[in-house]
Copies of this chain bind each other. A is one copy, B any other.
Amino acid sequence: MHNKVFPQSLSANEVLEQFHRSRKYSTDLIVGLSAEDCQAQSMEDASPAKWHLAHVTWFYEVMVLKAFEDNFSFWNPEFAVLFNSYYNGIGDKHPRSKRGLLTRPSLAEVLEWRKNIEDRVCKLIKAKNSPELLWLIQVGINHEQQHQELLLTDLHHLFSNNSLFPVYSSLVKNISTAVAPFQWVEGMSGLVETGYEGEQFHFDNEGPKHQAFNQIHSIGNRLVSNAEWLQFIEDGGYQNFQWWLDAGWAWLQSEQISAPLYWNKEGQDQLLRFSLNGNLPLDLYAPVSNISYFEADAFARWASQNLSGFAGARLPTEFEWEAFARLNPESSNDLFGKVWQWTSSNYNPYPGYQPWGGIAGEYNGKFMVNQMVLRGSSEYTPSDHSRISYRNFFPTHARWQMTGLRLAKDGL
């Protein structure tokens, strides 16, 4: 690591406590899953649960122990290849599309490895008084939290490929019975402070803090609901090219898309949505989820012309979103914990952006092209992994993540 300064707001004990909590949460997530459930990979974009559990451990072994532990040696040097995700700086990688073929090491062996690495990291935290080490552990914690969300979204996708419709959790949530009335809220315009600055942990892509310029605009007080989306479908939204970007229209036709991912039907009429709670009746008042950027963008264009009260609707920029969140931090506005919210902002470096030093430099920066920013967080996001400055990102066709939308418009 070549960063000169490591922002630090936590003591070693606090980091240690966070570390334990995040490690435990990972294994909590697979309670109720079989080794087989943790083995399978449903598509190249997704990874097996076992791979997620192993990869976050690989991160500590290669990024932390290898750099800081005396007399370091690998638990198994082959694991450095098998569980490398995308770090060219570290060397060979097992092919991404073949993660589901790694039946060895077994889940039990991965858990044993996890335990070993965990213990060694703990020892290290207690033994070394290094701001860089504490910072790196926090990278590891946040990295593991990101994979906790991915583990759930990938499992959701995997189970959706099985006509038995497996239920991950039978703690079925209540169906919503209402949704807040939609209102336009005045957005913060002019030069607005954007990006993280402070001593708390944050990713390199959240900074540097800088000024962005917002036009005069309004923003929606809540997320778009399934009921509103259903109107879009019933109005032929997926059959009318005029709402769609050209690339979106081509995508829709080649993939034969006509509804959000995971929507399905029982018989002729009953609309269902497959979730980790099973294949349940569609909750009309819940926020729409698992839509692509193309769909979010098309919906906004349609709503602008067809939905009463939505004239001028478009997606917000990430700067509009962030300014809104700073002014309205309460959850009453669906900012966090429901669905990620597509913005019209491309995932670009902020002015003056510098990737982290060393091999962590491949963490974010190299993905800053051909992706759109999503803001907020979803119901799958670990509870302490949400931030106003947080930037999630996916390509315009992706929709296996918990992705929805909030609308904005020019003017007041």
Contacts of A241 in B (CB 8 A): 88-89
Nearest-CB residue, chain B, relative to A365: B245
Q: How far is the CA of A103 from the CA of B163 in the complex (A)?
A: 11
- Which residues of A141-172 are within 8 A (CB) of B? 158-159, 161-164, 166
- Per-position 1/0 for A375-410, Cβ under 8 A of B: 000000000000000000000100000000000001
Whether the Cβ atoms of A101 and B344 lie closer than 8 Å is no
Within 8 Å by CB of A163, from B50, B82, B348, lies: B82
Whether the Cβ atoms of A34 and B244 lie closer than 8 Å is no
- Smallest distance from the beta carbon of A218 to chain B beta carbons, Å? 13
Contacts of A103 in B (CB 8 A): 34, 36-37, 39-40, 158-159, 162, 166
Contacts of A107 in B (CB 8 A): 36
Contacts of A162 in B (CB 8 A): 82, 101-104
Q: Is A234 an interface residue (CB 8 A)?
A: no
- Which residues of A89-137 are within 8 A (CB) of B? 89, 94, 98, 100-107
Contacts of A215 in B (CB 8 A): 210, 351-352
- Smallest distance from the beta carbon of A265 to chain B beta carbons, Å? 16
Q: Is A212 an interface residue (CB 8 A)?
A: yes
- Smallest distance from the beta carbon of A258 to chain B beta carbons, Å? 18
Q: Is A1 an interface residue (CB 8 A)?
A: no
Q: Is A191 an interface residue (CB 8 A)?
A: yes
- Residues of chain A touching chain B, judged by Cβ–Cβ distance below 8 Å, are 34-42, 50, 78, 81-82, 86, 88-89, 94, 98, 100-107, 158-159, 161-164, 166, 191, 210-213, 215, 241-242, 244-249, 293-294, 297, 344, 346, 348, 351-352, 366-370, 396, 410
- Knowing that A36-B107, A369-B396, A370-B370 touch, tell me 9 more A-B residue pairs with CB under 8 angstroms: A35-B35, A36-B103, A39-B103, A41-B100, A42-B98, A89-B241, A104-B162, A211-B213, A213-B213
A-B contact pairs, 8 of them (CB 8 A): A39-B40, A82-B164, A101-B158, A103-B159, A103-B166, A211-B213, A352-B410, A370-B370
